[in-house]
Each structure stands twice: as C-alpha cells, then as structure tokens.
Structure 1
Amino acid sequence: MNLKKVSIVLVIVTSLAMVNCKEKKEPISGNSFPVQEASGAEYQVDPENSTIQWVGTKITGRHNGIVKIKSGYVKAAEENITGGKFTLDMSTISVTDLEGDLKDKLEKHLRTEDFFEIEKFPEAVFEIASTSKNSDAVLIKGNLTMRGITHGIEFPASIAWEAGKPISAKATLTFDRQKWGIVYKGKVDDLISDTVSLDLDLKTL
C-alpha cells in the first residue's frame, strides 16, 4: 500500500472515530450533592408494598399515575437514616386518571423521547447523599439520575421506626422536569407545567 492510500485510510478511520465520539452521550452531572459514607445496618425496600405516585399539571387540568420501584435499600444507625439507594422501573409508568384509548395514548407518549425515553433509559435512580433531622421530619438530600442526567434534590420525609428498624417512609417532593431534559411543552393551548410532584410511600422488608 503506497503512502497516498495509507493517508486516505487514516482520514476515513479518523472521521469514523469522530462521528462515534459525537454520537456517544456521556452521563451529565448537574448540581449534585456529595454522597456521605453511610454507616449502620442495611434494610431492603419492599417493592410490592411501596408506592410512588406522580402528578403532572397543565393549563386545562392534571394527570396522575404510578411508577414502580425495582429495588432499593436504606442504611440506618440509632434511628437515623445514613444512606440509601432506590431504582425505579420507568417501564412501569402508568396513568390512573384516564381509561381506554386516552390512557393508552398518554402512557405511550410518556415512554417516548418527548418525556422519559424509556427504551434508552429504562431506569431512574435516587441515591441519598445526606440526612438531617428537622423538627418531626428528616430532611433528605440526594441525587436523582434520570435520562442519563443527575441533579440534587432535597425534601422532608416522615420515617416510622420499630425496634430501631425503619419500617416505612413517606414524603412529597417536586422537581423541574426540564433539568432532566424533559422539555416537551405540550400543545399551544394546553401547555404543560415544568413541575412534577411525587408522593412516596416506601416500606421495608
């Protein structure tokens, strides 16, 4: 192979490598919290008896539904939550305020790239970074990874204990969907709010 042919081959290989690099999207980390080292015993979350309900609003009303937890755990010591991690199965996202074709249509739309792009990002993960007691509640700071993007969120939670074991946790939190790349605005006459609410009711095994 002469020098001219070698040069052509190198140009082609370099061009292909540049295209591959552009197509490969790396995870994005936004304003996330540093995760503190967790101590204490580990308790598994009970996916079957835990619920996460979502609420999304728009100009003409609202929609709500559920998404299931795939797995998770919390760590605790001396009736203090010290850490934890939860994986949500985004393929289970469903709508509970509609029926029939309208329900099917919205559920399919939520799975597309306009919203959660579930085929590419089938899971969402929340990891507890730190906790602090605040009156009767526990202030939880953690990092939510969704659609390959991570941002920190914080919210108060109510924890129930039994013999030093956390048996349940309840919390309501909100997040700005645009921070996680969910930028679909909806129809001109029926714009969708950027704020999504989640009601958590978690149980341990």
Structure 2
Amino acid sequence: MKNLKTIAIALLMAVSTIASAQMKKVDASKSSITWIGKKVTGQHSGTINLKEGSLNFKGKKLTGGSFVVNMTSLNTTDLSGEYQEKLNGHLKDDDFFGTEKYPTSKLVFKKIADKGNGVYNVTGDLTIKDVTAPINFVLTVKGATASTSLKIDRTKFGIKYGSGSFFDSLGDRAIADEFELNVNLQF
C-alpha cells in the first residue's frame, strides 16, 4: 500500500510538471532576422525569413527552443537591381549556402542558463548545409518577444569562399569568417 501511494504521488508530480511546461509557437510572419556580412572593403546586409520555430517555457522560465530558417529567402537589402541579384545568387550558390540543395538551416537549444530578468545564456546546435556545430549566445525574453544578436563562424559549416583563414593572396577581396545575425521573435 505504501508503494502504491508513492507511485501515485510521483505520477501526480510528473503530471503537474508537464502541465506547467508550455511550448509557444513563434509567429514567423511577425519575426525578423537581419544579417551583416563584412569584407575588407566594406559590408553587406540583408534579411532571411524564419520558416518556423518555438520556445519552451516552464512558468516564465525559458527551458528550450528550436527554429528552422528558410535559406532560399536570403536577400541583400543594401544593394538593388543587377548588383543585388548577383550577390543574392552568389550567396545562394554552393560557394556559400547552397540553398538549392540545403533550403533550410536549423537551430536547437541544448542548454539554457538563466541570468535573471529574462536574460538567458543559450548553447545550441546550429545546422547549416547538413553540418552541425555548437553556438553560444545571449537571448532576452520580454513579454511575447525574444531577441538576440550573435556571430556565426561560417567556416565551421564548410563555407570557406573568400576566407583569409584558408586562402592566401586575397588582399582586399577577403571576406570575414563571421557573419552577424540580429533576431527578433514574436510569439
């Protein structure tokens, strides 16, 4: 009889824990991702669309998350006309993101440390071009929004085009290994 009470209490606790956990779907149409890529002679910027995503909470505390980005939506916003089309095409080509073969990228939160006041240190697995590597960033959650700014080393995903880390004699054609993302999520 004592074991039956212990099992009943354990089940009740498990159910109440599950009930307090909540997955919140991110509204991809109201969320935004902007990017900046730098080179020796300047930089370019643009947008990329979130395909889908969710954040997991226990009460008001962030406990997880996962996101899929539509790589085919990659768009340069600091150029127009022929130059914009050329850069967009080059970024979508196999030299960079190979969006025809790899139309999505994915981020899955693996570890979350609460820093207080809605600020979290997040460690996640980022997959670009079927290569997965860990990334770390700070995510701020306020109400029904979450935001972060992070840098991603493209060479960790096999994207080495124009990298001074891999090619000599690039001179002013060298492209920075890291690109920046500014992410604003609505859920």
TM range (shorter): 0.7 to 0.9
Whole-Å Cα distance in 2 between the matches of residues 46 and 40 of structure 1?
19
Of 176, 182, 185 in structure 2, the residue corresponding to residue 199 of structure 1 is 182
Aligned counterpart for 2:22 among listed residues 41, 55, 72: 41
Instruction: Please provide the CA RMSD for this pair.
Output: 1.5
Per the TM alignment, residue 97 of structure 1 is displaced from its structure 2 partner at its CA by 0.3
Paired residue for 1:140? 122
Task: Identify unmatched segments of 5+ residues in structure 1.
Answer: 1-37, 162-166
SS at match of 2:29: helix
Match of 2:132 in 1: 150
CA distance in 2, matches of 1:45, 1:74: 7
Residue by residue over 1:8-63, the C-alpha shift from the partner in whole angstroms, topping out at 9 and shown as x without a partner, is xxxxxxxxxxxxxxxxxxxxxxxxxxxxxx98111111000000001100011000
Quick one: distance in 1 between partners of 2:162 and 2:116? 38
Question: Partner of 2:73 in structure 1?
Answer: 92
Quote the offset at 1:188 in angstroms.
4.1
Counterpart position of 1:128: 109
Question: How far apart, in 2, do the equivalents of 1:196 and 1:80 lie?
Answer: 29
| Aligned with 2:152 (options 171, 175, 178) | 175
Paired AA for residue 194 in structure 1: D
Q: Which amino acid aligns with 2:30?
A: N
> Could you tell me which residue of structure 1 aligns to residue 84 of structure 2?
103
Alpha-carbon offset, residue 135 of structure 1: 4.7
Following the alignment from structure 2 to structure 1, what is the Cα–Cα distance between the partners of residues 133 and 22? 27
**Aligned letter for 1:199?**
N
List, as ranges, runs of 4+ consecutive aligned residues in structure 1 with deviation greater than 2 Å.
186-189
Question: Which has the larger Rg?
Answer: 1
Aligned to 2:50: 69
User: Structure 2 length normalisation: TM-score?
Assistant: 0.83
Count of aligned residue pairs for this structure pair: 162
Within 2, Cα distance between the matches of 1:155 and 1:101?
35
